[in-house]
Amino acid sequence: MPIRREHRFFYPIDSPQLSAVIRFRRAGGRCEAYGRPHGQTVWHLGDGRWWDAQTGSWRNDAGQVVCLAVGADDVLKAVRTTRVVLATAHRNHDTSDNTNTNLAAFCQRCHMNHDRPEHRRRRWVTLFRRKALGDLFGGPYA
């Protein structure tokens, strides 16, 4: 994921090289949570289950092999595709902590799930700020 211009100061100057080492050398080009392969298009059902073409099986959101019951799930109506892109995430959300144990290679789904509490907090702050400005200046709460 690209780094915002206002946040680049918090990252080390060699962050692209560090990210490449984590994503491709340590993780082997696969998501460390799900095992999804970088740069490939995978079929998924939208609920975390995805088709691993390398093993020829469906995997759940924990990366474990699952068996779909024949007739129970109408897979052909629900199947979608997505292109997997790996990104390096900070496990503790501290951009200054670039130790090997704090960095993880996540696909976009895992990265969004990992950052969900922080995104919720930022959303709350943004909405709170808009409402405060509306109260201060008598404007709408848009």
Please check whether residue 125 lies inside any domain of the structure: no
In a domain, 127, yes or no: no
Mean pLDDT of 92-113: 90
- Is residue 14 assigned to a domain? yes
| Mean per-residue pLDDT of the chain | 83
Rounded to an integer, the average pLDDT of 109-124 is 90
State pTM to two decimals.
0.75
Residue 66 lies in a domain: yes
**Position 28: which residue type?**
G
pLDDT of 66 strictly over 80: yes
Confidence band for 70, pLDDT divided at 50, 70 and 90: low
Domain that residue 99 falls in: 5-114
pLDDT in tens, 1-60: 567 787 778 888 888 899 999 999 999 999 998 888 999 998 888 888 888 888 888 888
**pLDDT: which is higher, 7 or 97:** 97
Share of the chain above pLDDT 70, in %: 85
DSSP annotation string for 45-112: -SSS-EEETTTTEEE-TTS-EE-PPTTTS-HHHH-EEEE---EEEETTS-TT---TTTEEEE-HHHHH
How far apart CA 63 and CA 65 sit, in angstroms, is: 7
Banded pLDDT at 135 (limits 50, 70, 90)? low
In a domain? residue 121: no
Domain contains 131? no
Q: What is the predicted pLDDT for the residue at 30?
A: 92
Residue 29, pLDDT score: 94
H or E, element range at 43: strand 41-44
Question: What's the structural domain count of the chain?
Answer: 1
Residue 142 lies in a domain: no
- Is residue 140, in this structure, part of any structural domain at all? no
pLDDT above 90: percentage of residues in the chain: 29
